Amino acid sequence: MYFSRFLCAGIWLSVSSSLYAQVKPSNLDHVDPTIGGVGLILEPARPLAHLPNSMLRMHPLKKDQLDDQVAGFPLSVISHRIGAAFLFLPLYEAQTAKDAGITIHHEVTKPYFYELTDERFYNTVSFSPAARSGFFELKNASQSRKFRFSLSVMNANGKIERIGTNDLAGTEDYNGMKVYFFAKTNGKISQFQQETIAGKSAVVASLETESASFSFKYGISLISIDQARQNLEKEIGEDTFETVKAKARSAWEKALNLIQVSGGTEAQKRTFFTALYRTYERMVDVNEYGHYYSAYDHQVHSSAGAFFVDNWIWDSYIALQPLTMILDPDKDQAMIRSYITMYQQSGWMPSFAVTFGDWPAMIGNHAAVWMADSWNKGQRNFDLRSAYEGLRKNALEATLLPWRNGPASSLDSFYNKNGYMPALAAGQKETVKVVDDVWEKRQAVSVTLENSYSDWCIAQLAGPAGYPDDQSLFLKRAAFYRNVFRTEKGMVWPKDQAGNWIEPYDPKLSGREYFTENNAYIYNWHVKHDLNSLFDLMGGRKNAEAKLDQLFREDLSLPKWKFWANQPDASGLVGQFVMGNEPGLHIPYLYNYLGSPWKTQKRIRMLMDTWFRADVFGMPGDEDGGAMSAFVVFSMMGFFQVTPGVPVYTIGSPSFESISIQLPNGKKFSILAKNNSKDKVYIQQAKMNGQLLTEPMFTHDQLANGGTLELLMGDKPNKQWGVRQN
C-alpha cells in the first residue's frame, strides 16, 4: 500500500515536472528572427535558421520580410551576406522549372526552425538545422512530389547528380573554392532531368513515396561529397525531423540562457533576445570532424580543434568580440587562433576572414584591437608572438588602402614617413592606380584615424610578445591622428601631400575621398585610445561636451535623400549622429568621460527605444552578422566598452530591472536597476558588491569574478553622480 502510494506520487511528480518543462517560459520564445527584416536603406537582417556559430546557415531566398515570394531555399549561407550554395525548391502542380516560386500564406521563423505554408495549396515546407547538415520536410496537400535543385544565384559552375535511386549529390564552385552536398530522400527519385535555368545548371526531379510527407536530409562540406555524406550520417543519420528540431532547440536554449532578464516590456525582451541570437551568427566553425578546408592556402588540414571563419573585423571588434569574451572566452580564443593560422597559411593577417579567403573590405588593422583586448583581459590561450608578427607585418609592410591587401603602395610609404594618408582635393583625378577611383577611393582621414588606434593596440602587445623595442615605434604611430585634426576648426580634416588642409571642404558632405561610410561628424570621435588628448584638441572638456551635444542636433543642411545619395550608410540619424553604422556605437557613452554621465543615460535609452524596436523595421542599419546586435545586448544590459584594448566597461542605463550573466567560471555577474521604468532612466546612486560606486566605470576583472552592480533609478538626473575628476 505504501509502495503503491509512493509510486503514484512519483508518477504524478514526473508528469507534472514534464508538463512544467513544456510550459516553462523560455528566452528562446522571445526571439523573433523577422525583427529588422526590412532594411531602412541598405540590407535587411535575415531570419537565419542555424545552430550557434555553426557552418550551416539557411534562410528563404526573398528580397526582404515584406516579400511574399520565395525563390528557393539555399542549402547553406557560405559567408554572411556574400552568398549561398545550391538552391532547393519544391514545384507544385503545373509549375515549370523556369517560372517556379512559392507564394507565402504563412511563415514560422525560429532560430532552430523555419516553416512556410504556400498560398495556393497550403502545402508546408519545414526546415531544421544541425551543425553541418539540414533537414527539409514537405507536407503536400496537392500530393506533388516534384522539386528543383540548382546552383545558387551567384554561381554558374558545378553539377548535381543522382546517386542510386533516392540520393543526390552536388558540387558548386564558389569564389575560388568548392562546396559539396550529399542528400537522402525518403523515396525513389524518378524523372531526373538536367536543365539550364538563367545560365545555371539545374535538375528537376520527381519523388515516388508512400509517405504522407517528403523528407530531404543533407550534409554540406568544403572538403568532398563523401565528407558531406559523413557529416549527414554523424549529425542526423536516421533521426526524425522532430528529433533534429528538438536538438536544435536545445542548443539555442543553452546559448540564450547564459543571460537572464526580468522587468521591461515584452517588446524589449523580444529586441534583446533576438539581438543575442544574432550574435551567434558568426564566426562559424568549418572543421568537419577532424579535417577542415582552408581557403587561405587552399589545402585540407587535419586538426582536432575548431577552425573559425567568416568575420568582418571592422564591424565585430567593437562589440561582438567583447561580448564573446564574456560569454565564452574559450571560443573567442579559438577564433583568434584561427586568425593566426590564416596568417601562417597566407602570409598576411586577414582583414575580413571570410570562408573563401581574406576579403579585404573596409580599412584598419583591427585584428590588433581584438587580440590586444583579449590579452589584456587575461585570455592567453593563443600564440601571441606569431599573432604580433602578423599584426606588425600588416601595419608596416601591407597596404592600408580601402578594399586592398598585399604589399604597400606609394601612398603607404608616404603614410609611414609623414604620419597621415594624403588626400586629393574634391574633384581631383586619382593619381595612384591601386586606389579604387569609382566608389571606395582613398578614405584618407579614416585610414589615418583607424590605423592610429590599431597601432596603439599593437604597442600594447609589443612587450608581452617579446618585441619591447617596438613599443615606442607604435606609440608614435598611434599619435598620427593628430596630423588630421585641425585645431582651429575643432574637426578632423583632410590634408594634401604638401601638408596643406584641403579647401573647400564640407565636413557634412565629404564622402569616401576622406571617410569610410560616415562623415567627419562621426569620425571626429574616433580617437578611442587617447580620449583625453582628443578633448584637449577640441579646446577642453567643456568645449568637447558642447560639441558632442551639437552632434545630436546638427542639421543635415539638405534633404535626407540628397544626404543619403552621398552617405548611404549613414542611417538611424539623430542630428549628424549615425546609429545605424558601427563607427558611431561608442559615441553616446563619451559623456561618461566628459563629466555628464546623465546625458549618456538619456541618449542610450532614447536610442534603444527609437531605433531598436521589435518589428521588421527594428534595425537602423546593416546588421553585419551580430556586430550591431552585440551593441544592443550590451546597451540594454546597461554597460559598454568604449575602448577595446582597455579592459574597462562604462555604465549606461539598462532596459531591465534585473540582468544576470552566467559566466563560464561558474560565477554570475548581475545588474539590478531598482525602480527602473520607461521614465526612470537616470542613475541616482550605484554600488558594486555593496560598496558605493562613484564613477561610471568598472573593470573586466570585476565582471569576470562575479558580483552585483546595483543602480537606483529615478526620473530626474543626478548630475553629481559619476562625475570623473580626470
**What is the pLDDT averaged over residues 57-80?**
96
In the predicted model, is pLDDT for residue 16 greater than 60?
no
3-state SS of 285-320 is: ECCCCCEEEECCCCEEEECCCCCEECCEHHHHCCCH
Closest Cα partner for 72 from 7, 136, 165, 164?
136
- Write phi, then psi, for 207 (nearest 5 degrees): -120, 130
Find how far residue 523's CA is from the centre of its chain. Answer: 21
Confidence of residue 155 (pLDDT cuts 50, 70, 90): low
> What pLDDT shows up at residue 94?
59
Residue pair 372/645 in contact (Cβ under 8 Å)? The answer is: yes
C-alpha cell, 594: 566628459
C-alpha to C-alpha distance for 271 and 33, rounded to whole angstroms: 10
- Write phi, then psi, for 705 (nearest 5 degrees): -85, 0
32-256 folds as: Beta-galactosidase; Chain A, domain 5 (2.70.98)
The beta strands (E) that lie in 558-610 are given as 573-574, 577-578
- The order of strands in the sheet holding 146-150 is 73-79, 83-91, 146-150, 200-208, 188-197
pLDDT in tens, 332-384: 999 999 999 999 999 999 999 999 999 999 999 999 999 999 999 999 999 99
C-alpha to C-alpha distance for 212 and 243, rounded to whole angstroms: 18
Pick the CATH number of 261-714 from 3.40.50.1100, 3.30.160.60, 1.20.1610.10, 3.30.420.40: 1.20.1610.10
Closest Cα partner for 62 from 40, 78, 46, 39?
46
Domain with CATH 1.20.1610.10 in the chain: 261-714
**What is the pLDDT averaged over residues 565-591?**
96
> What pLDDT shows up at residue 191?
84
Characterize the bridge pairing of strands 707-714 and 668-674.
parallel
Residue type, 578: V
In the predicted model, is pLDDT for residue 31 greater than 50?
yes
> What pLDDT shows up at residue 208?
86
Containing 447, the helix (H) or strand (E) segment is: helix 444-462
ω into residue 283 within 30 of 0, thus cis?
Answer: yes
Number of H helices and E strands in the chain, helices first, is: 20, 35
pLDDT in tens, 387-407: 999 999 999 999 999 999 889
> What pLDDT shows up at residue 633?
98
Closest Cα partner for 656 from 643, 640, 638, 669?
638
Task: Identify the residue with better confidence: 198 or 527.
Answer: 527
> What pLDDT shows up at residue 212?
80
C-alpha cell, 54: 555553426
**What is the pLDDT averaged over residues 230-249?**
98
Half-sphere exposure of 297 toward its Cβ, with a 13 Å CA cutoff? 12
Residues of the chain with pLDDT > 70, as a percent, come to 94
> What pLDDT shows up at residue 510?
86
Confidence of residue 611 (pLDDT cuts 50, 70, 90): very high
**pTM above 0.85?**
yes
**What is the pLDDT averaged over residues 555-578?**
94
Whose cell is 577611393? That residue is: 441
> What pLDDT shows up at residue 5?
36
Whose cell is 581574406? That residue is: 358
**What is the pLDDT averaged over residues 92-119?**
85
Residue pair 583/520 in contact (Cβ under 8 Å)? The answer is: no
Residue pair 402/362 in contact (Cβ under 8 Å)? The answer is: yes
Domain with CATH 2.70.98.10 in the chain: 32-256
> What pLDDT shows up at residue 491?
97
In the predicted model, is pLDDT for residue 702 greater than 60?
yes
Task: Identify the residue with better confidence: 83 or 299.
Answer: 299
**What is the pLDDT averaged over residues 280-295?**
98
**What is the pLDDT averaged over residues 595-615?**
98
C-alpha to C-alpha distance for 707 and 20, rounded to whole angstroms: 30
**What is the pLDDT averaged over residues 459-486?**
98
Confidence of residue 3 (pLDDT cuts 50, 70, 90): very low
The length of the chain is 726
Q: C-alpha dihedral over 242, 245, 246, 247, to 10 degrees?
A: 130
In the predicted model, is pLDDT for residue 23 greater than 70?
no
Tell me what the pLDDT averaged over the chain comes to: 93
